[in-house]
Amino acid sequence: MRNALQRIRGACGGRRTRSEAEPHSAASRPLQAGRHAMKVKGGRLDFLAPHLLRSQLLRPGFVSLSLRMGFAQQMPAWARLQFTNAGVSPEDLDRVLGRISGLTSWADEWESLGRAHEQAGRDALALGRPNDAARRFLTASAAYNFAQYVIFLDHERKRALHEACVRAYAQAAPLLRPPATPFEVPYRRHTMRGFLRVPPGRRPAPVVVLFHGTNAVKEELHWWSEALLERGLATII
């Protein structure tokens, strides 16, 4: 790497900086320490990678090209975490990604998975299996949300998938332990909707209000809510 950098600098013809001229000076040591302070897991910023990919590379042209080149099938382990952490099983994930070859098939395959799990949730509920039904509805909600990720211009379909995501989560809400109680808050000319979950135990319980970013939905925060509830904290999403 050092030789490569020297060749690049030589080709550019740039003059040496003070830090290059004095590599062992005191001025260079804080910078080196800062570099080490930034390292995570063997020198890679793995923790930030999914967020950087999502915020910087989620563009129609880039995503379309990546999917046509087989990125879905070659997705690295850290990128798969956002799907499995949302309740999608590794088996479902492999099956969906294996069928994706472009923007259209991405949306179609994830929507198909969402429909299958939503129907399975209704079937489980009819058979008196609320825990299984809740799990199925949560997976359906996540699948619908992932389906709309790469829809950039078809606003009607994007909205329909978002509504399906919200609908599936609402079906899971009363089946959760503790249940997620829906509420509405008027805000200007709109109505903000959310869910309150309160853990068993002491009252009043401290409450954590969870907010999502502009490219996310409140239903994605379910698993953060689960972790906080285990620690005795009520949550609002």
Domain boundaries, the chain: 44-175, 180-237
Contact between residue 133 and residue 139 where contact means Cβ atoms under 8 Å apart: no
pLDDT at residue 133 in the model: 98
Architecture of domain 44-175 in CATH?
Up-down Bundle (1.20)
What are 13-45's pLDDT values in tens digits? 444 444 444 444 444 343 344 444 334 344 444
pTM above 0.85, yes or no: no
DSSP-derived 3-state class of residue 71:
coil
Q: What secondary structure, in 3-state letters, does the chain show?
A: CHHHHHHHHHHHCCCCCHHHHCCCCCCHHHHHHHHHHHCCCCCCCCCCHHHHHHHHCCCHHHHHHHHHCCCCCCCCHHHHHHHHCCCCCHHHHHHHHHCCCCHHHHHHHHHHHHHHHHHHHHHHHHCCCHHHHHHHHHHHHHHHHHHHHHCCCCHHHHHHHHHHHHHHHHHHHHHCCCCCEEEEEEECCEEEEEEEECCCCCCCCCEEECCCCCCCCHHHHHHHHHHHHHCCCEEEC
Cα 62 to chain center, whole Å? 19
Asked whether the predicted pLDDT for residue 223 surpasses 80, the reply is yes
The mean pLDDT value for 151-156 works out to 90
